[in-house]
A and B are shown apart, each in its own frame.
Chain A
Amino acid sequence: MDSMRIVPARGSKAATTQDTSNSFGLHDTLQYGPRSLAAEVVKTSNVKDRLENWEATQDNLKLQMHRQAFGLHMPMRILMERKLVSQNPHMPALPQSNLHLDILMGRDETLDCPDFMVPVSEMRQPLDIHADMEKKLRM
């Protein structure tokens, strides 16, 4: 928010992950079966949290600095541009690339792991097109 955090803060001690949530945010029993306490209460790993939130924290620090130097309009415009560019009219078919967003985020001239390493689960054909469309439209 207003904070000038340089690195991600350490997460709270007990956390629940909602991988199995439906569109209401509750556990989707129809799809995944009854709730399991063991799956819900997860001790967060410090390293994992730090790495996952790293890029977002650095980006937030930069935006915060721009806010202080230029005024609220600067981060607002930057975020607006990113949002405009992220609106993808296509169906969630497999090959998804957003060159315009890459340019805005400053990663158009770099190669990193996500660019050439695709997890096996994403290589398969999307069997559940309905779930994908649901997710996309509720954005």
Chain B
Amino acid sequence: METIDIARLKSGEVNLGTSIMAVQFDGGVVVGADSRTTTGSYIANRVTDKLTHVHDRIYCCRSGSAADTQAIADIVHYYLQIHTQTTGSAPSVHTAATMFQKLCYDNKDALSAGIIVAGWDKEVGPSVYNIPLGGGLFRQPWAIGGSGSTYVYGYCDATYKEGWGRDETVEFVKNTLALAMSRDGSSGGVIRMCVITEDKVERLFIPGDQLPKFWQGKEVLGTDIKKDADLAAAVAMAVDA
């Protein structure tokens, strides 16, 4: 007989309770995340900031174990400060992403961390790097991660177009995250976004009551009562005694 192991069912919620996203556009990148941190089914923090500054124009989105990703982000932040002091200029996003990747790969047996690194540097311009669980490094025009991302791969594939400007990209990130948050139990709260360009980093905040709304579902059973009532009265049940 098969028994359902409650502990294993809940383990997904502890580990990857997030929807994170980063999209590159012509002048920069937009990074976004939900704001829910869960321990089991309890929401430990409903206004978390998962967009972590590792350098002036490089941010990372964290998904997975909160402790693991904070530890890694701290180490990379420290390293990039040393790097800036010795080279005298800002590090490239590729440098930051490679550092994340080294840490994630060398510690892969102990970590549960999925990270998206995105930012702007003067060599390449905007770039987005995805570092999923095993510690691989993938540069992509857009990347989604966390447990909520599984629900929106289709939406993203169908909607994304190259050559968007800042506003269209922000719209895209906002809609994607709202859809992910509405379907994933481990994602929710508010949407936090950062728009990173050469000149500045602009933080955007969308509170929970102003999230874009999509089809919310509709109860079908029990609606057209009038029609069904006539039918029920007419039919007499034949019972064999």
Interface residues of chain A, those whose CB is within 8 Å of chain B, are 3-7, 9-10, 61, 65-66, 68-70
Residue pair B79, A3 in contact (C-beta under 8 Å): no
Residue pair A4, B107 in contact (C-beta under 8 Å): yes
Interface residues on B, range: 10 to 19
Within B51-86, the residues touching A (CB, 8 Å) are 71-72, 75, 78-79, 82-83, 86
Q: Can you identify 24 A-B contacts, CB atoms within 8 angstroms?
A: A4-B102, A4-B103, A4-B107, A5-B106, A5-B107, A6-B72, A6-B75, A6-B103, A7-B107, A7-B110, A9-B109, A9-B110, A10-B109, A61-B75, A65-B75, A65-B78, A65-B79, A65-B82, A66-B82, A68-B79, A69-B79, A69-B83, A69-B86, A70-B86
Residues of the A chain whose Cβ atoms lie less than 8 Å from the Cβ of B78: 65
C-alpha gap A9/B102 in the complex (Å): 16
Report the minimum CB–CB distance from B98 to chain A (whole Å).
10
Q: Please tell me which one of the listed residues B83, B86, B106, B109 contacts residue A4 in the complex, with CB atoms under 8 A apart.
A: B106
Within B90-137, the residues touching A (CB, 8 Å) are 102-103, 106-107, 109-110
Report the minimum CB–CB distance from A82 to chain B (whole Å).
20
The 4 closest A-B pairs by CB, nearest first: A4-B106, A3-B106, A69-B82, A4-B102
Residues of the B chain whose Cβ atoms lie less than 8 Å from the Cβ of A3: 106
Contacts beyond the supplied A65-B82, A69-B83: 7 A-B pairs with Cβ under 8 Å: A4-B106, A6-B71, A6-B72, A6-B75, A7-B110, A9-B109, A69-B86
